[in-house]
Amino acid sequence: MNARFVRLAEQGRPIVKLTVDGVPIEALQGDTLMVALLTHGPALRQSEFDPGSRAGFCLMGACQDCWVWTRSGERLRACSNEVREGLDIITQQPEAIWPLRG
């Protein structure tokens, strides 16, 4: 799938390796999780209320559209958490899914 975000500058930063849904990816030091994920694919998570995928909205911690999870179940706001070496990210909500999903 195509990347959503496009890097325009600041590409000389050291590489940080993390895993997203079991797949290893490379990001740059100082990237938010959102930038790390969306420079590799089009979405951050699946909506709980429809078949749509979501890719964040406000980037300032106000809308909560960009939640992702660590494998241990910790919820992270992708727009305001930076990548760390070895992070193991899951984009599927680990909690119960609402039966409304179409």
Binding stretches for other proteins (CB under 8 A):
1, 4-14, 29-32, 35, 38-39, 42-44, 47, 49-65, 67, 74-75, 79-80, 82
Q: Would you mind telling me the total number of residues written for the chain in this entry?
A: 102
Question: Closer CB to other proteins, residue 24 or residue 100?
Answer: 100
Beta carbon nearer to other proteins, 11 or 99? 11
Q: Token pair 């997203």 is at which residue? A: 20
Min separation Cβ 15 and other proteins, Å: 12
Pick between residue 7 and residue 71 the one whose CB is nearest to other proteins: 7
Residue 30: Cβ within 10 Å count: 12
The CA-to-CA distance between both ends of the chain, in Å, stands at 22
58 CA to centre of own chain: 14
